[in-house]
């Protein structure tokens, strides 16, 4: 996959991109088996806050 950006995008920059602007061609499709076994996981506030402070 070719890089389209000169620098890595921050979480805020990535969040503002429309879905169709994100190249997912190198990511495999997730099949029914994946979703059948998927679980919801809570994000710990401290982990979230650390990433926000780091600009991720």
Range of the domain at 36: 11-53
Tokens of 52: 């926000």
The verdict on residue 6 lying in a domain is no
Question: Does 49 score more than 60 pLDDT?
Answer: yes
Percent of the chain scored above 90 by pLDDT? Answer: 11
**What's the rounded mean pLDDT across residues 41-48?**
72
Is the separation of the CB atoms in 51 and 11 below 8 Å? yes
Is the separation of the CB atoms in 10 and 55 below 8 Å? yes
The verdict on residue 4 lying in a domain is no
The verdict on residue 45 lying in a domain is yes
| Overall number of domains in the chain | 1
pTM equals 0.37
Average pLDDT, the chain: 80
**What's the rounded mean pLDDT across residues 26-40?**
90
For 6, phi then psi, to 5°, come to -75, -30
The verdict on residue 2 lying in a domain is no
Q: How many CA atoms lie within 13 A of 30 on its CB side?
A: 6
């Amino acid at each position: 996959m070719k890089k389209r950006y000169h620098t890595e995008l921050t979480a805020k920059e990535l969040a503002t991109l429309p879905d169709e602007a994100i190249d997912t061609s190198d990511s495999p499709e997730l099949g029914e088996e994946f979703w059948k076994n998927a679980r919801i996981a809570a994000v710990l506030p401290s982990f979230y806050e650390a990433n926000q402070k780091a600009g991720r």
